[in-house]
Amino acid sequence: AEDKAEASSSASPPPSSYFIGKKDEIIEAGRVTKLVNNREVLVLHHDGVFHAMDMRCYHSGGILFYGDIEEFNGRLCIVCPWHKYKITLAEGEGLYQSVDPKEKPPKPRWRSKGVKQRIHRAIEVDDDIFVEFNDTPGPIESDVYQTESFRARARAK
Ligand code: FES
Protein backbone atom coordinates (compact mmCIF):
# COMPACT_ATOMS: atom_id res chain seq x y z
CA ALA A 1 0.00 0.00 0.00
CA GLU A 2 2.88 2.33 0.71
CA ASP A 3 4.21 1.87 -2.79
CA LYS A 4 0.87 2.83 -4.16
CA ALA A 5 0.73 6.01 -2.11
CA GLU A 6 4.12 7.04 -3.49
CA ALA A 7 3.18 6.18 -7.03
CA SER A 8 0.16 8.47 -6.90
CA SER A 9 1.59 11.32 -4.91
CA SER A 10 -0.73 13.78 -6.61
CA ALA A 11 -3.56 12.08 -4.75
CA SER A 12 -2.07 12.02 -1.29
CA PRO A 13 -3.86 13.42 1.72
CA PRO A 14 -2.83 16.79 3.15
CA PRO A 15 0.02 16.31 5.64
CA SER A 16 -2.06 17.36 8.62
CA SER A 17 -4.90 14.96 7.94
CA TYR A 18 -5.89 11.88 9.90
CA PHE A 19 -6.66 8.47 8.47
CA ILE A 20 -10.22 7.47 9.33
CA GLY A 21 -10.80 4.24 7.49
CA LYS A 22 -11.42 2.45 4.26
CA LYS A 23 -14.02 4.10 2.08
CA ASP A 24 -15.98 0.85 1.51
CA GLU A 25 -16.18 0.15 5.19
CA ILE A 26 -17.41 3.63 6.05
CA ILE A 27 -20.01 3.49 3.28
CA GLU A 28 -21.22 0.17 4.62
CA ALA A 29 -21.28 1.35 8.22
CA GLY A 30 -22.79 4.71 7.23
CA ARG A 31 -21.03 6.38 10.17
CA VAL A 32 -17.90 6.03 12.23
CA THR A 33 -16.34 7.99 15.04
CA LYS A 34 -12.66 8.41 15.55
CA LEU A 35 -10.38 10.40 17.82
CA VAL A 36 -8.86 13.16 15.75
CA ASN A 37 -6.53 15.60 17.45
CA ASN A 38 -7.82 14.17 20.73
CA ARG A 39 -11.45 14.86 19.99
CA GLU A 40 -14.24 12.64 18.86
CA VAL A 41 -15.08 13.25 15.23
CA LEU A 42 -18.06 11.80 13.43
CA VAL A 43 -17.56 10.83 9.81
CA LEU A 44 -20.65 9.94 7.87
CA HIS A 45 -21.59 9.05 4.35
CA HIS A 46 -24.83 10.43 2.96
CA ASP A 47 -26.00 10.43 -0.67
CA GLY A 48 -22.52 9.80 -1.95
CA VAL A 49 -20.86 12.52 0.10
CA PHE A 50 -18.63 12.20 3.16
CA HIS A 51 -19.03 14.67 6.00
CA ALA A 52 -17.04 15.15 9.19
CA MET A 53 -17.88 17.10 12.34
CA ASP A 54 -17.44 17.15 16.06
CA MET A 55 -19.38 14.16 17.34
CA ARG A 56 -20.97 15.87 20.34
CA CYS A 57 -23.75 18.39 19.74
CA TYR A 58 -22.98 22.02 20.57
CA HIS A 59 -26.13 22.40 22.65
CA SER A 60 -25.47 19.94 25.43
CA GLY A 61 -23.18 17.22 24.16
CA GLY A 62 -25.81 15.03 22.46
CA ILE A 63 -24.55 12.11 20.45
CA LEU A 64 -24.78 13.11 16.81
CA PHE A 65 -23.75 9.61 15.84
CA TYR A 66 -27.44 8.74 16.29
CA GLY A 67 -28.85 11.83 14.59
CA ASP A 68 -31.12 11.59 11.55
CA ILE A 69 -30.27 13.51 8.42
CA GLU A 70 -33.01 15.68 7.01
CA GLU A 71 -33.34 18.69 4.77
CA PHE A 72 -34.59 21.97 6.22
CA ASN A 73 -35.03 25.05 4.10
CA GLY A 74 -33.11 23.27 1.35
CA ARG A 75 -30.13 22.53 3.57
CA LEU A 76 -29.00 19.11 4.72
CA CYS A 77 -28.88 18.90 8.49
CA ILE A 78 -28.15 16.38 11.16
CA VAL A 79 -30.82 16.40 13.84
CA CYS A 80 -29.49 15.85 17.33
CA PRO A 81 -31.32 12.96 18.98
CA TRP A 82 -31.37 14.70 22.37
CA HIS A 83 -33.35 17.91 21.80
CA LYS A 84 -33.73 17.89 18.02
CA TYR A 85 -31.43 20.79 17.26
CA LYS A 86 -30.71 21.01 13.56
CA ILE A 87 -27.14 21.46 12.37
CA THR A 88 -26.18 21.98 8.73
CA LEU A 89 -23.77 19.33 7.52
CA ALA A 90 -21.80 21.66 5.33
CA GLU A 91 -21.20 24.57 7.74
CA GLY A 92 -22.25 23.49 11.23
CA GLU A 93 -24.86 26.25 11.46
CA GLY A 94 -27.65 25.89 13.97
CA LEU A 95 -31.01 26.34 12.25
CA TYR A 96 -34.22 27.22 13.98
CA GLN A 97 -37.67 28.39 13.08
CA SER A 98 -39.20 31.56 14.33
CA VAL A 99 -42.39 33.46 13.81
CA ASP A 100 -42.75 37.18 13.39
CA PRO A 101 -45.94 38.04 15.32
CA LYS A 102 -46.38 41.15 13.18
CA GLU A 103 -46.80 38.97 10.13
CA LYS A 104 -50.45 38.19 9.41
CA PRO A 105 -50.95 35.31 9.45
CA PRO A 106 -47.70 34.50 11.28
CA LYS A 107 -45.61 32.06 9.30
CA PRO A 108 -42.64 30.15 10.74
CA ARG A 109 -39.38 30.98 8.94
CA TRP A 110 -36.00 29.29 9.06
CA ARG A 111 -33.16 31.26 10.56
CA SER A 112 -29.54 30.56 11.34
CA LYS A 113 -27.80 31.02 14.67
CA GLY A 114 -24.46 31.01 12.87
CA VAL A 115 -21.76 28.35 13.08
CA LYS A 116 -22.14 26.37 16.29
CA GLN A 117 -20.68 22.98 15.42
CA ARG A 118 -17.11 22.50 14.30
CA ILE A 119 -17.15 20.91 10.86
CA HIS A 120 -14.04 19.15 9.60
CA ARG A 121 -13.09 18.24 6.06
CA ALA A 122 -13.53 14.66 4.93
CA ILE A 123 -11.14 13.80 2.11
CA GLU A 124 -11.25 10.82 -0.21
CA VAL A 125 -7.88 9.55 -1.40
CA ASP A 126 -8.15 6.42 -3.49
CA ASP A 127 -9.87 3.86 -1.26
CA ASP A 128 -9.28 5.73 1.97
CA ILE A 129 -10.99 8.47 3.91
CA PHE A 130 -9.05 11.09 5.82
CA VAL A 131 -10.12 14.02 7.92
CA GLU A 132 -8.42 17.35 7.89
CA PHE A 133 -8.96 18.86 11.28
CA ASN A 134 -10.59 22.28 11.23
CA ASP A 135 -8.38 24.36 13.49
CA THR A 136 -10.12 27.67 12.84
CA PRO A 137 -9.60 29.69 16.01
CA GLY A 138 -12.61 29.42 18.21
CA PRO A 139 -14.25 28.96 20.37
CA ILE A 140 -16.96 27.29 18.38
CA GLU A 141 -19.70 26.20 20.76
CA SER A 142 -19.25 22.48 20.15
CA ASP A 143 -15.64 22.70 21.35
CA VAL A 144 -16.49 22.35 25.03
CA TYR A 145 -18.04 18.91 24.53
CA GLN A 146 -15.15 17.29 22.69
CA THR A 147 -12.64 17.23 25.51
CA GLU A 148 -11.38 14.17 27.32
CA SER A 149 -12.80 15.51 30.58
CA PHE A 150 -16.27 15.77 29.03
CA ARG A 151 -15.95 12.23 27.69
CA ALA A 152 -14.92 10.99 31.12
CA ARG A 153 -17.94 12.69 32.72
CA ALA A 154 -20.24 11.25 30.05
CA ARG A 155 -18.86 7.74 30.66
CA ALA A 156 -19.35 8.08 34.40
CA LYS A 157 -23.07 8.90 34.03
FE1 FES B 1 -28.18 18.28 20.97
FE2 FES B 1 -29.56 19.27 22.99
S3 FES B 1 -27.76 18.17 23.05
S4 FES B 1 -30.04 19.28 20.92
**Atom number, ligand 1, closest to the C-alpha of residue 83:** 4
Output b/e per residue, 106-126; b: 16+ Cβ within 10 A.
Answer: eeeeeeeeebbbbbbebbebe
Name the residue with higher pLDDT: 75 or 105.
Answer: 75
**Atom number, ligand 1, closest to the C-alpha of residue 60:** 3
- Whole-structure pTM value: 0.88
| Structural contact between residues 99 and 108, judged by C-beta atoms closer than 8 angstroms | yes
**Mean residue pLDDT across the chain:** 91
pLDDT digits (tens, 9 = 90+) for 31-51: 999 999 889 999 999 999 999
Question: Looking at ligand 1, which residue's alpha carbon is closest to its atom 2?
Answer: 83
Cα–Cα distance for residue pair 24/26, rounded to 1 Å: 6
**How far, in Å, from the CA of 36 to the mean position of ligand 1?**
22
**Atom number, ligand 1, closest to the C-alpha of residue 61:** 3
